[in-house]
Chain A
Amino acid sequence: MLARTPLYNRHVALGARMVPFAGYEMPVQYEGVKQEHLAVRSAAGLFDVSHMGELELVGPEAGAVIDGLITNDASKLVDGRALYTCACNERGTILDDLIVYRLRADRWLVVCNASNRSKIAPHFQAAAAGRCAIEDASDRTALLALQGPKALEIAGRVGGASLVELKSFGLAELVLAGVHALVARTGYTGEDGVEIFCASNDVVALWDALLDAGRDLGLVPAGLAARDTLRLEARLSLYGNDIDETTNPLEAGLGWTVKLDKPGFLGKNALVAQKAAGLARKLVGLEMVGRGIARHGYPLLDATGASIGTCTSGSPSPTLGTNIGLGYVAVGHDAVGTKLLVDCRGKSIEAVVVPTPFYKRPT
């Protein structure tokens, strides 16, 4: 039985195609992935990502509990700030990628992937036992992502004028369109924008208010398909595609989230050893030269046809008009400009290693 977010009826009324995703029926697209993607790059898009998992940790030790489970350094966070991090197992491979928010010294929020909630919630609960209170608040919490160059202007029209002051990865509690919300200047698209948490009961009103407020600025509802192409252009990792329990943050290009100089955290010893031994492979950006689209799982070959790695994500890039992808390649094949072949179901198509992100928003 698939779960539905409180916005299910809104999605259906908007003509969305609904698909199963992480146990939920989610909108994969409304009018079309390209149109939604380009609207987010040029104006704004509104995403329902209420399927994401939210864990609330409360108590003086909450920050320390979290810090013991993540690779990034939560002890450096001040009130009203968030960070992106990996959570690893003792082997140093990735259990999930998370955003950790410090509301106050004794009040924290951890947002995990929907597909990992059933793994991450008990993992954090076990660590919290006897040290701080923890609640899996996912079912009573909704999450909207308002993304694009017009996102802040739209939020300003429903009471969020102060959000322009918010730094990247800053958060604020405020009332938007009459709804109590926690707003963070974060996203998964490579654009400016905010992600808005509110009570599940309030999210339909907030969704309607935002769509109304942004219509004349080009705001459209956007689905999971556009979310995926947007994040790929910005080289943001997708758990289950680019990272999982067989990959470590160092080879995934997420070394910047690993603070080996902080006190012990789960996976630290393995990551220290990994770093000392050197990496065997790296996740790199690919651009197709020949006619073909690299897809998750396609083998990557060198010019002689020998296997050198695997594609983890691939898609046409609506912004660039090229076909792009990510893949792990053996060290030695990871330099920008390296030519390789993608085995597209038996056909070897030429590709080249390119710098990432594929797209960077104009500043």
Chain B
Amino acid sequence: MSSEIKSDRVYTKDHEWAKADGDAVVIGITAFAVEQLGDITLVNLDVAEGDTVEAGKPFGTVESVKTLADLFAPLSGKVARVNKALEERPELVNDDCYGEAWMVAIVPTDRSAIDGLLDAAAYDKLLSESH
């Protein structure tokens, strides 16, 4: 199985993606994560605009029919936007995990932290090594 990976963003070993957008960094989950979860039925984003998040700490959950996965903040910073549309339409995650189904946008405390994440090639390697 080869899951789609986009070269315009960076990744975490928890199968999330991060993409710079102005001052903020937009966060979502990868196609691989979606394939592992199956049909997404519930997205819980436990943060609001202005909240502080800490790298490695959970900020919400994604639930499928079978299971539940934590969402971890890939970077420390302040929440700039939360994708409220996912509350009503969790299926967007299955349809467009790299676009419409972004989860949150964070203004990072330390912008250079994004350089510590995996580029597309490194994430691809991670997937091929572990599966």
Q: What is A's interface to B at a CB cutoff of 8 Å?
A: 28-29, 32-34, 225, 228-229, 291-293, 295, 315-316, 318, 323, 345
Interface segment, B60-68, B101-109, B120-128?
A: B60-68
Q: Is B41 an interface residue (CB 8 A)?
A: yes
User: How far is B42's CA from A295's CA once the two chains are assembled, in angstroms?
Assistant: 13
State A295–B39 Cα separation when bound (angstroms): 16
Q: Is the CB of A315 within 8 A of B65?
A: yes
The distance from the CB of A129 to the nearest CB of chain B, in whole angstroms, is 41
* B44 interface residue (CB < 8 Å to A): yes
**Residues B68 and A34 in contact, CB atoms below 8 Å apart:** no
Task: List, in ascending order, chain A residues with CB within 8 A of B38's CB.
Answer: 29, 32-33, 225
State the CA gap A34–B39 with chains docked (Å).
7
A318 touches B65 (CB 8 A): yes
Q: B87 at interface (Cβ–Cβ under 8 A)? A: yes
Q: How far is the CB of B35 from chain A (nearest CB, A)?
A: 8
Interface SS majority for chain B: strand
Complex Cα distance, B61 from A315, in Å, reads 15
Cβ of A291: which chain B residues have Cβ within 8 Å of it?
Answer: 42, 44, 87
Instruction: Contact check, B65 vs A33: say whether CB atoms are below 8 A apart.
Output: yes
Whole-angstrom distance from the CB of A210 to the nearest CB of chain B?
25
> Given A32, A225, A295, A318, which contacts B68 in the complex, CB threshold below 8 Å?
A295
Bound complex: CA A240 to CA B42 (Å): 25
Which single residue of chain A is at the shortest CB-CB distance from B68? A295
Are B65's CB and A316's CB within 8 A?
A: yes
Question: What CA separation (Å) do A292 and B41 show in the bound complex?
Answer: 10
Question: Do residues B87 and A293 form an inter-chain contact, with CB atoms below 8 A?
Answer: no
Alpha-carbon gap, A214 to B64, bound state (A): 29
Q: How far is the CA of A322 from the CA of B114 in the complex (A)?
A: 39
The CA of A293 and the CA of B43, in the complex, are separated in Å by 11
Flag if A316 contacts B41 (CB, 8 Å): yes
Interface size class, chain B: 10 to 19
**Chain B residue at minimum C-beta to C-beta distance from A229:** B65
**B114: min CB distance to chain A, Å:** 29
- Name the A residues within 8 Å of B63 (CB-CB): 293
Which B62-89 residues have a C-beta within 8 angstroms of A?
A: 63-66, 68, 87
Q: How far is the CB of B97 from chain A (nearest CB, A)?
A: 15
Contact A33 B39 (CB under 8 A): yes
Closest to A315 in B: B65
**Which residues of B are found within 8 Å of A33, using beta-carbon distances?**
38-39, 64-66
Residues of chain B in range 34-60 having any CB-CB distance to chain A below 8 Å: 38-39, 41-42, 44
Interchain CA distance A29-B37 in the complex, whole Å: 11
Query: How many angstroms from the CA of A323 to the CA of B63 in the assembled complex?
Result: 12
A residues in contact with B61, CB < 8 Å? 345
Query: Which residues of the partner chain A approach B44 to less than 8 Å between Cβ atoms?
Result: 291-292
A229 CA to B64 CA, complexed, in Å: 12
Give the distance to chain B from A252, nearest Cβ to Cβ, in Å.
23
Nearest 4 Cβ contacts at the A-B interface:
A316-B41, A34-B39, A33-B65, A225-B66
Q: Which residue of chain A is the closest to B36 with respect to CB atoms?
A: A17
**Residues of B contacting A315 in the complex (Cβ-Cβ under 8 angstroms):** 65-66
**B39–A293 contact, CB under 8 A?**
no
6 new A-B contacts at CB < 8 Å, known A33-B38, A34-B65, A318-B65? A33-B64, A229-B65, A291-B87, A293-B42, A316-B41, A323-B42
Closest to A225 in B: B66
Q: A225 touching B65 by the CB < 8 A rule? A: yes
Set of chain A residues within 8 Å of B41, measured between Cβ atoms: 293, 316, 323
Residue of A nearest to B91 (CB): A34
Count chain B CB atoms within 10 A of each CB in A28, A293, A323 and give the residue with the most: A293
User: Which chain A residues lie closer than 8 Å to B39 at the CB level?
Assistant: 32-34
Min C-beta distance of A321 to chain B, whole Å: 10
Nearest-neighbour CB distance to chain A for B124, whole angstroms, equals 20
Q: With a CB–CB cut-off of 8 A, which chain B residues contact A28? A: 66
Given the complex, which residues of A lie within 8 Å of B87, measured CB to CB?
A: 291
Write out the residue numbers on chain B whose beta carbons fall within 8 Å of the beta carbon of A32: 38-39
Among residues of A, the one whose C-beta sits closest to the C-beta of B87 is A291
CB of B23, distance to nearest CB on chain A (Å): 31
